[in-house]
């Protein structure tokens, strides 16, 4: 996925059906691009030209990443199987 406004892309690894972050986090986003709270929010293993990180992104701000280029986030190998044609599949969870 890629962000609609900001220059980063990433792989979704979790979803919150409703907003589950702090009001301070939401207020830190400039008002003209601040997402609405009444939608799903996605956790991404994200990357931009300089670094990798974890991002929390509203559904309204996600678009398909059609580059076909693999992501380079270091946690991808731990959480996902090797991608095929840009498609990532989560590894099976190991029981405790």
Domains of the chain, residue spans: 2-79
The partner residues of 10 in beta bridges, in order of sequence, read: 46
Task: Give per-residue pLDDT as tens, 37-57.
Answer: 999 999 999 999 999 999 999
Q: What percentage of the chain carries pLDDT values higher than 90? A: 72
Cα 31 from chain centroid (whole Å) = 21
Alpha helix ranges (H) inside 1-96? 23-27, 76-79
Q: What is residue 13's predicted lDDT score, i.e. its pLDDT?
A: 95
Residue 8 near residue 46, CB atoms below 8 Å: yes
Q: What is residue 96's predicted lDDT score, i.e. its pLDDT?
A: 62
- Residue 82's pLDDT band (cuts 50, 70, 90): confident
Q: What is the helix (H) or strand (E) element at residue 79, kind and residue range? A: helix 76-79
Q: What is residue 91's predicted lDDT score, i.e. its pLDDT?
A: 85
Q: What is residue 87's predicted lDDT score, i.e. its pLDDT?
A: 80
């Amino acid at each position: 996925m890629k962000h609609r406004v900001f220059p980063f892309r990433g792989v979704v690894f979790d979803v919150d059906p409703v907003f589950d972050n702090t009001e301070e986090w939401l207020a830190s986003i400039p008002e003209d691009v601040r997402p609405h709270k009444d939608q799903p929010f996605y956790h991404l293993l994200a990357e931009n030209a300089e670094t990798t990180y974890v991002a929390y992104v509203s559904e309204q701000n996600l678009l398909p990443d059609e580059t076909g280029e693999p992501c380079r986030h270091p946690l991808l190998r731990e959480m996902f199987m090797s991608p095929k044609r840009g498609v990532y599949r989560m590894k099976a969870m190991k029981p405790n």
